[in-house]
Structure 1
Amino acid sequence: MATFVLVPGFWLGGWAWREVTADLRGRGHDVYPVTLTGVAERAHLAGPEVGLETHTADLTGLIEAEELRDVVLVGHSGGGMPVTQAADRMPDRIARVVYVESGPLPDGMSQFDTNPPEEQERLRALIGDGHLLPPPAWEPAEDPQNLAGLD
């Protein structure tokens, strides 16, 4: 059986992997869904000091603390960046890296750099004096999966 560490995209917590986690565990795999520092239910930990290094430390810390080996490290969207960095830092512990709606960025490029200049300007305006983009607007009644009603 395999060991999976599941990393959600921006603004999401480990709970976003609920169905995947249940399915993989039902097949006998070990699964560790992660909520990165400063997002979702850990949003109260956000601050200017929280960034890619913190998120990478979340992953490497988990892998070390749980003594995981041969890990399938899965990153969704913005979770792909700390997944890439964690895999680079502990290649002896990682069996595979899987990107879902993501992928490794070229060296020296940030996620922000992937946006055209006009979008970068719009995003900077949203950030203002803060350090993070605000989560996108979400109306539970309009959510096709109606995630608000899930336990």
Structure 2
Amino acid sequence: MVPLLEAAGQQVFAPSLTGFGDKAHLLGPEVGLDTHVDDVVGLITDENLSDVVLVGHSYAGLVISSAANRIPERIAHLVYLDAMVPEDGESAVDVQPVTRHLIELAEKSESGWRVPPMPEQPAPFGLFGVTDPADVAWLRGMLSDQPVRCLQQPVHLGNPAVDAIPRTHIHNVGAMPEGVTRRAVPSIQPNGTAAQVWELPTGHDCMITMPSELSELLLKLS
């Protein structure tokens, strides 16, 4: 995604959240949603960014919501990319009830806090919607356990200024695993304008399966 967007003249930041990617060594039971909000807010403020199109995929819909609540003056647009879309005070369980089962498994596990990645399933579900063998192998090497606090801590949306930020929802409408649900998007956004919902005919990890098509959608917002 980064080279495609940069080739179109955009400045792009794709930070690893604490405990993932090049920060996997920082994984621990103390890491939670608030940690990841700090990661995003810290990047934006340290780089002195403004007019940011902030994209959150999956669980990161919670992250971008709380981050925008902290620094709404720096955010030009929120993009919920097949993401959890919370209300104030909600946690992942409220938005995606199937995560309650993941929390229970983590609490009963030897560690008491690790949520392992979902296993690969037969096509068309694959590994988060990825079915190409080479892409699956690459993705599997990128995955980390998720600290259970990420799913337990609530989102904070008490700043009224966050409601003024335009939103776009991108739904991946390929095969969806059993138990995973998606909230209906209200017809009117919090800022009073009509909802903007786009669809991609692919599985959950569209940045891997349809990067060009996703880039084209994001560039419409720049």
Give TM-score, length-normalised by structure 2. Answer: 0.52
1:125 counterpart (100, 105, 126): 105
Verify: 1:62 aligned to 2:50, yes or no: no
Partner residue of 1:33? 14
Contact 2:55 2:81 in 1 (8 A): yes
Taking the aligned partners of 2:138 and 2:30, their CA distance within structure 1 comes to 33
Gaps of 5+ in 1: 1-19
Taking the aligned partners of 1:124 and 1:78, their CA distance within structure 2 comes to 18
CA displacement 1:6-26 (0-9 Å, x = unmatched)? xxxxxxxxxxxxxx2111100
Gaps of 5+ in 2: 140-222
Contact 2:84 2:92 in 1 (8 A): no
Post-superposition offset of 1:138: 4.6
Would you say how many aligned residue pairs link Structure 1 and Structure 2? 128
SS at match of 1:109: coil
Taking the aligned partners of 1:86 and 1:122, their CA distance within structure 2 comes to 24
The structure-2 alpha-carbon separation of the partners of 1:146 and 1:73, relative to structure 1 and needing over 3 Å to count, comes to same
**Percent sequence identity over aligned pairs:** 39
The structure-2 alpha-carbon separation of the partners of 1:134 and 1:66, relative to structure 1 and needing over 3 Å to count, comes to same
Verify: 1:73 aligned to 2:54, yes or no: yes
Partner residue of 1:88? 69
The structure-2 alpha-carbon separation of the partners of 1:123 and 1:103, relative to structure 1 and needing over 3 Å to count, comes to closer
Highest relative contact order (Cα 8 Å, sep 6+), 1 or 2? Answer: 2
Partner residue of 1:107? 88
Greater mean alpha carbon deviation, residues 73-82 or residues 42-51: 42-51
Q: Which amino acid in structure 1 is aligned with residue 42 of structure 2?
A: G
SS at match of 1:60: helix
Taking the aligned partners of 1:33 and 1:134, their CA distance within structure 2 comes to 23
CA displacement 1:88-133 (0-9 Å, x = unmatched)? 11011000000100142122221123315xx624641244243231
The structure-2 alpha-carbon separation of the partners of 1:121 and 1:75, relative to structure 1 and needing over 3 Å to count, comes to closer
User: C-alpha root-mean-square deviation of aligned residues, in Å?
Assistant: 2.5
Give TM-score, length-normalised by structure 1. Answer: 0.73
CA displacement 1:47-100 (0-9 Å, x = unmatched)? 121111110010010001111010000000011111111111101100000010
SS at match of 2:114: coil
Taking the aligned partners of 1:86 and 1:120, their CA distance within structure 2 comes to 24
The structure-2 alpha-carbon separation of the partners of 1:40 and 1:132, relative to structure 1 and needing over 3 Å to count, comes to farther
